[in-house]
Amino acid sequence: MSSPPALPDDPLTPIARGLCDAMSSGFPDPADGPLDAAALRAASRAGLGLRPVLPVRSVTERVTPVPVRIYDDGEGGGGRDRPLIVFFHGGGWVLCDLDTHDGLCRELAVRTGAVVVSADYRRAPEHRFPAAADDAFAVLEWAAGHAEELGCDPARVVVAGDSSGGNLAAGCALRARDEAGPAVAAQVLLYPVLDHRFESDSVSASAYASGFFHTTAHMRWYWEQYVGPGGDRVAASPGLAADLTGLPPALFVLADCDPLRDEGIAYARRLAGVGVSAEVRLYPGVFHGFLGAGGVLLFLIHI
C-alpha cells in the first residue's frame, strides 16, 4: 500500500479535535485486541443521560413491523403537507439505537419541520444482512402508508441516515424503485457507508485510516459482522448498484477527515452521471460522526 498523503499538523479544527479525542478515549480500539459487540454498544451509550434534550412537541413510540420512535414538533390539527423523514441510525449495523440518535432526530424534527420516524432495526451480528435492510424497507413502507395520519404529504417522503444508516437509506431508495415501492422524494445520506471496497483507490481511507475516531479497522470489523463469512457484500453495497437511473435526488453531508469521504463523493458522481440530482456538502475540519458529537447539528436540510 502506498504511503498516506501528507496532511497538515492536524486537519481537524480545535473544537473537532477535542470532541474526537473525547469520543475516541472511551471507544474500543481494534489495535488493543479483538472487538466485542457488547463493549462497543456500551461505549456508544456512555453519557446519554448527560446530554441536553431538545424539546419536541410530541415524541411517541409505536410497534409497526419494526419498533419506531416518531418526532413531531408541529402544532396539532395542522395540514397534511409536511415532509416525512424516515431515519436510520448509524453504528456499523452493530451498535447504537433509538436513544443514541435521539438528539439528532430531535434536531431534524425541529429544524426541518418534518415528522421524523426513527427505525429500531435489527442489528448484527445477531441478525446479519439482509435483516437490517429488510427492516428499513418495512419501516419505509409503513411510514409512507401512514403519511397522512402522521400529518405529512405522501409525496414528500424522505429517507435519511448517518453512516451505516445512510447505507440503509440508499438501499431503500434503490429497492423502492426496483420493487415499485413507496415514492421516495429525496435521500439524505450523512457520511454514508456505501461500498465494501472502501479502502480501494481511496485517498481518504488511507489519509484518515486512524486518529479520527472512526478507523478503517473499525469499518472492516463492521462489514464482517454485518455480512458474515461468505456474505453478499456487493448486494449490501448500494454504491455498487449497476443501475442508478430513476433514483430520487440525493443530498450528501460528508466530513472531510473521514475514511469514508471518498466513497460518498464517488456515489454522488455516479448519480449525477445518470442525471440524478446529487448535492454534496463537504465540511472541512470535522470527522465521521460529527453531527452527533456533543448533540450539535451543524447543518440545515432543505426539503
Residues designated catalytic: 163, 258, 288
Instruction: Return the C-alpha cell found at 147.
Output: 403519511
- The DSSP result for the chain, as a single string, is -PPPPP--S--S-HHHHHHHHHHHHTS--GGGS---HHHHHHHHTTTGGGS-----SEEEEEESSSEEEEEE-SPTT--S-EEEEEEE--STTTS--TTTTHHHHHHHHHHH--EEEEE----TTTS-TTHHHHHHHHHHHHHHHTTTTTTEEEEEEEEEEETHHHHHHHHHHHHHHHTT-PPP-EEEEES----TTTTTT-HHHHHTSSSSSS-HHHHHHHHHHHH-TT--TTTT-GGG-S--TTPPPEEEEEEEE-TTHHHHHHHHHHHHHTT--EEEEEEEEEETTTTTGGG--------
Comparing CA positions, the residue from 197, 234, 191 lying closest to residue 89 is: 191
CA distances from residue 175 to 8, 128, 228, 234, 243 in whole angstroms, order as listed: 41, 18, 22, 14, 12
Cis peptide leading into residue 130 (ω within 30°): yes
